[in-house]
Chains A and B, each alone.
Chain A
Amino acid sequence: MALDALTEVSDEALLILYGNGDRQAAQSLTLRLGPLAFRVAYRMLGDRAEAEDLAQEAMLRLWKIAPDWRTGEAKVSTWLYRVVTNLATDRLRRRRGVGLDEAPEMADESASALDQMISADRIAALQGALDQLPARQRQAVILRHLEGLSNPEIAAAMEIGVEAVESLTARGKRALAALLEGRRDELGYGHD
Chain B
Amino acid sequence: MNWGMAMTDWNAREHTLDDLFAAARRAAPEPSPGFLARVIADAEAVQEAAEAVPVRRSAAPSGGLMAALRGMFGGWGALGGMLTATVAGIWIGFSGADQLGLVTGGLLGTTESLGTVSLLPEGDIFALAVQE
Point out residues on A near B: beta carbons under 8 Å: 18-19, 21, 23, 26-27, 29-31, 34-35, 38-39, 42-43, 48, 51-52, 55-56, 59-60, 63-64, 66-67, 108, 110-112, 115, 118-120, 122-123, 125-127, 145-146, 148, 173, 176-177, 180-181, 184, 187, 189, 192
Contacts and interface: CB of A to CB of B under 8 A. Distances in A.
Contact of B12 (A29, A34, A43, A189): A189
B30 A110 contact: yes
B131 interface: no
A48 B43 contact: no
A123 B44 contact: no
Contacts of A176: 17
11 contacts: A21-B51, A26-B40, A34-B31, A34-B35, A34-B36, A35-B31, A63-B43, A119-B26, A120-B27, A146-B24, A146-B25
A39 B28 contact: yes
Contacts of A59: 39, 42-43
B15 interface: yes
B17 A173 contact: yes
Determine the main DSSP class of A at the interface with B. Answer: helix
A110 B14 CA distance: 28
Contacts of A119: 23, 26-27
Interface of B: 12-17, 19-21, 23-32, 35-36, 38-40, 42-44, 46-47, 50-51
A115 B27 contact: yes
Contact of B23 (A67, A126, A180): A126
B19 A123 contact: no
A153 B68 CA distance: 42
A29 B40 CA distance: 9
Contacts of A108: 27
A171 to B, nearest CB: 13
Contacts of A192: 12, 15-16
A63 B46 contact: yes
A96 B31 CA distance: 26
Contacts of A189: 12, 15-16, 19
Given A35-B30, A42-B29, A59-B42, A123 B12 contact: no
